């Protein structure tokens, strides 16, 4: 039910009716993002077009909300929106048809999460014209919101911004600062805007302003666990296990989906987040995919076991999933396709890793999964060894591959349509 030119799917896709919970809206703190993130790695980047178009249509409302609510430049978004949202300038009601839903509507990171699909659209299917016309205008405005807000925030004794007020989705209360969800997405989208501006040869001064804003963002908040080791928590001042059970695993967001701490990060950062991932508990609903992929990004094989244990009892004869916490299909459930693909291939930071989270004693193969840079990857593992690895370049550009036999980084300039075969 997602195709170019169609209205973006809401919470219940084509199954929505008059009595559908939440009116089948778009939830910008997780649910609306997941179906469209899925489309890239499974090699259907065209299926993200409805969300790209929707974000462009929403830009006047997002800019209005940033100015009205935060007195900031740029564009931000609330928790809930619908398929046909008018420009606030054309609305007659006092609130201009804007839904707030406190405190859920005030999570700062939602704008970055909603715009992430646009940047992924360029990473997985590079197209300079599309970037300039459909992607960069939204990415730029969302980055400008975070930049403008960071410039206004009070500073602590170290000169770092107290990034807030905000709400940690979906836990705690309104008014907290330095939520990992917010910090990670502010970094993600400002980095994306800097990269896009450089590629397009424009907004050099604005890109420098983004760099300065990122420099004042604080580190992710931590608290000691029972052994006295640091663990990432939901906001500055939050205690270990203060959130007993997460619906959205906020402490994991810098690893996934915001991709700020990766396999290639310093070992100290990776160890902090490994400890965090091991001790983060979720309630068996939204975060099954979010936490699973975060663990897969660090090659923690328990992610595969957890996913199988949770999803196997829920699969229906038609291949969809019945969510026990809600009792019906949500369009976000298609995210399992991307999660499974993440066990087989990853391309964070434009570096391809094959079978990054797959047990050696399990044979597996896949064909034409899509990686950043527009590369199509085909591989096979037998008896614990990778026996086949083929990569096709769809648009040309630099291939960056972590050699699965040596662990060394391979870099190679490619041409569009070039097919490469790698061997031990």
pLDDT digits (tens, 9 = 90+) for 114-169: 999 999 999 999 999 999 999 999 999 999 999 999 999 999 999 999 999 999 99
What is the pLDDT at residue 14?
67
What is the pLDDT at residue 11?
86
pLDDT digit string, tens, across residues 300-323 = 999 999 998 888 877 888 777 776
Q: How far apart are CA 148 and CA 254, in angstroms?
A: 21
Is 70 exceeded by the pLDDT of residue 324? no
Residue 393's Cβ-count burial label (10 Å; 0-12, 13-18, 19+) is: buried
Is 90 exceeded by the pLDDT of residue 17? no
- What average pLDDT does this structure show over 353-366? 97
What is the pLDDT at residue 304?
94
What is the pLDDT at residue 311?
84
pLDDT digit string, tens, across residues 35-58 = 999 999 999 999 999 999 999 999
Can you read off the two tokens belonging to residue 230?
């640091």
Is 70 exceeded by the pLDDT of residue 266? yes
Q: How far apart are CA 254 and CA 267, in angstroms?
A: 15
What is the pLDDT at residue 328?
63
What is the pLDDT at residue 333?
84
What is the pLDDT at residue 331?
84
Q: What percent of the chain has pLDDT over 90?
A: 85
Among 73, 83, 156, residue whose Cα is nearest residue 111? 73
- What average pLDDT does this structure show over 358-387? 97
Q: Quick one: how far is CA 321 from the chain centroid?
A: 22
Q: How far apart are CA 252 and CA 275, in angstroms?
A: 10
Helix (H, G, I), strand (E, B) or coil at 216: coil
Among 303, 295, 333, residue whose Cα is nearest residue 315? 333
Q: What percent of the chain has pLDDT over 70?
A: 97
**CB-hemisphere CA count at 13 Å for 114?**
31
What is the pLDDT at residue 326?
65
What is the pLDDT at residue 284?
79
Compute CA distances 62 → 18, 152, 237, 243, 394, whole Å.
27, 19, 30, 30, 34
What is the pLDDT at residue 325?
63
What is the pLDDT at residue 12?
81
Most confident of 99-103, 129-133, 284-288: 129-133
- Strand 375-382 and strand 385-393: the pairing is antiparallel
What is the pLDDT at residue 330?
77
Under a CB-based contact definition with an 8 Å cutoff, are residues 116 and 143 in contact? no
- Strand 230-232 and strand 222-224: the pairing is antiparallel
Q: What is the mean pLDDT of the chain?
A: 94
What is the pLDDT at residue 13?
75
Is-cis flag, bond preceding 103, omega within 30? yes
What is the pLDDT at residue 15?
67
> Vertex 388, ends 382 and 391: CA angle to 5°?
145
Is 90 exceeded by the pLDDT of residue 199? yes
pTM of the model: 0.96
Confidence of residue 334 (pLDDT cuts 50, 70, 90): confident
Most confident of 13-17, 183-187, 306-310: 183-187
């Amino acid at each position: 039910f997602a195709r170019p030119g169609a209205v973006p799917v809401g919470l219940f896709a084509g199954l929505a009716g008059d009595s559908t919970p939440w009116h089948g809206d778009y939830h910008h703190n997780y649910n609306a993002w997941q179906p469209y993130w899925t489309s890239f790695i499974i090699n259907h980047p065209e299926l993200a077009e409805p969300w790209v178009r929707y974000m462009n249509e929403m830009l006047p409302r997002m800019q209005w909300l940033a100015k009205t609510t935060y007195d900031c430049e740029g564009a931000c978004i609330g928790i809930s929106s619908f398929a046909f949202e008018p420009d606030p300038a054309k609305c007659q009601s006092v609130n201009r048809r804007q839904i707030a839903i406190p405190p859920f509507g005030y999570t700062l990171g939602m704008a970055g999460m909603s715009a992430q699909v646009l940047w992924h659209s360029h990473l997985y299917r590079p197209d300079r014209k599309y970037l300039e016309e459909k992607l960069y205008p939204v990415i730029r405005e969302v980055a400008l919101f975070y930049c403008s807000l960071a410039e206004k925030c009070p500073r602590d004794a170290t000169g770092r911004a107290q990034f807030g007020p905000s709400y940690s989705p979906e836990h705690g209360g309104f008014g907290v600062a330095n939520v990992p969800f917010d910090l990670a997405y502010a970094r993600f989208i400002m980095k994306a805007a800097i990269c896009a501006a450089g590629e397009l040869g424009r907004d050099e001064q604005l890109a420098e302003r983004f760099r300065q804003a990122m420099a004042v963002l604080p580190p992710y908040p931590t608290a000691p666990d029972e052994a006295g080791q640091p663990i990432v928590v939901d906001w500055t001042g939050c205690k270990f296990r203060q959130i007993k059970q997460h619906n959205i695993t906020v402490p994991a967001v810098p690893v996934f989906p915001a991709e700020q701490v990766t396999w290639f990060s310093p070992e100290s950062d990776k160890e902090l987040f490994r400890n965090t991932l091991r001790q983060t508990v979720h309630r068996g609903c939204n975060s099954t995919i979010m936490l699973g992929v975060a663990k897969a990004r660090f090659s923690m094989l328990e992610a595969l076991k957890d996913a199988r244990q949770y999803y196997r009892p829920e699969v229906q004869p038609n291949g969809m999933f019945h969510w026990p916490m809600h009792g019906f299909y949500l369009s976000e459930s298609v995210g399992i396709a991307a999660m499974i693909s993440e066990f087989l291939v990853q391309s964070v930071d434009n570096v391809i890793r094959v079978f990054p989270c797959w047990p050696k004693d399990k044979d597996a193969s896949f064909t034409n999964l899509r990686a950043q840079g527009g590369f199509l990857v085909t591989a096979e593992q037998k008896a614990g060894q990778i026996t086949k690895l083929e990569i096709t370049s769809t648009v040309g550009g630099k291939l960056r591959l972590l050699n699965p036999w040596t662990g060394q980084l391979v870099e190679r300039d490619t041409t569009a349509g070039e097919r490469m075969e790698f061997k031990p």
